[in-house]
A and B are shown apart, each in its own frame.
Chain A
């Protein structure tokens, strides 16, 4: 029973390039959440998706960042024209149903993005 799978584990990009982070939720989970963790800080919510729908993107920067969770395939967090301030660990989490219905959240191992 595989857990939440994220890839790549480490991603190095130069300023101005694009970064694509992938997340496959646990089997049977249809709710995906992306969080960002800056060094020495807690996790900050970015976006919450269900299959083919963005439910809440209140934590996502308005420019350069986008997320999708297609009907088939993993969820993708895309960062265009990366800047040094985007360097962080990006975590994906999944749940089977709504968190309001007493669900536990399970995290992937994260993608460490480094922008040179």
Chain B
């Protein structure tokens, strides 16, 4: 099946800093989503972005489908941004569900 790799696995930032999280995938995708899992375990859908660029407040995401990667940008980070960020992809050539990467653990220090 499709492979999804996220980097870095861990990231520690000072409040106010910017960061870039990366997601590489091994096959062409029809559907790519970014999720944030907060420290209480809740999974929030941040972006649906199989290609192109989207922005939502301090967060933005870019997917370059032809090169099989996606980037999540967090600007002016806040302590509430802490948690795990997951990339998940769907490839019509494989199973009929989203395959998750192993995540990036982000800690934002006050």
* A residues neighboring B (CB under 8 Å): 33, 35, 41-45, 48, 55-56, 58-59, 89, 91, 98-100, 102-107, 109-110, 112
Contacts and interface: CB of A to CB of B under 8 A. Distances in A.
Interface residues of B, number: 23
B98 A105 contact: yes
B86 A56 contact: no
Contacts of B98: 33, 45, 99, 105
B95 A104 contact: no
A99 B90 contact: yes
Contact of B96 (A41, A89, A99, A112): A99
Contact of A102 (B45, B50, B96): B50
Nearest to A98: B96
12 contacts: A42-B102, A43-B43, A48-B96, A99-B96, A100-B90, A100-B96, A102-B31, A102-B48, A103-B31, A105-B98, A107-B42, A107-B43
A66 to B, nearest CB: 18
Nearest to B89: A99
B95 A42 contact: no
B42 A109 contact: yes
Q: Which among B43, B92, B99 has the highest number of chain A CB atoms within 10 Å?
A: B43
Contacts of B90: 99-100
A81 to B, nearest CB: 26
A56 B103 contact: no
Contacts of A55: 96
Nearest to B35: A107
Given A100-B90, A109-B41, A56 B95 contact: yes
B58 to A, nearest CB: 20
By Cβ-Cβ distance, the 7 closest A-B pairs, closest first, are: A107-B43, A42-B102, A43-B100, A99-B90, A42-B100, A104-B48, A45-B97
Nearest to B31: A99
Interface in B85-109: 86, 88, 90, 92, 95-103
Nearest to B40: A109
